Structures are given as C-alpha cells and as structure tokens.
Amino acid sequence: MSFIAKLKDSFNGLLKFLRDVRTELRKVVWPTRKQTINYTLVVLVAVFLVTVLLSVTDAAFNVVIRRLLGI
C-alpha cells in the first residue's frame, strides 16, 4: 500500500470518527442552566464538607501523634 493510500485511509478514518462524534453529541441531553447551577452548588458543598472533615481528622491525628511522641 502506498503512502498516499495510507494517508487517504487515515484521513477517511478521521472524518468518519468526527461524523460519529457529531452524531453522538446530537443525542446528548444537556442540562438546563438551573440544573447546572444546582449541580455546581452540590459539588461545592460536598467539597467544602470533605475539606472540613479532612481538616478535623488531620488536626485530631496531629494531637494524638504529638502526645504519643511527647512533643
């Protein structure tokens, strides 16, 4: 197979891939603006709560380790 034929096959494969991507993106049900804002707020609250939980846990372990080591 010549270089030109391989290049043409690769280009045709890329075009097919891009057409398939476009077709699949048309099937996507995008969230509304209100849903996006709500989901974002849920994620931010969850991140905040996990941050607080990890900070408290870290502080507790810090106290325990310092007492064990006598620092």
11-66 tens-digit pLDDT: 899 999 999 999 999 999 999 999 999 999 999 999 999 999 999 999 999 999 99
Per the rule left: phi > 0, alpha: psi between -120 and 50, beta: everything else, 18 is alpha
What is the pTM (predicted TM-score) of this model? 0.60
Gap between the Cα atoms of 15 and 13, Å rounded: 5
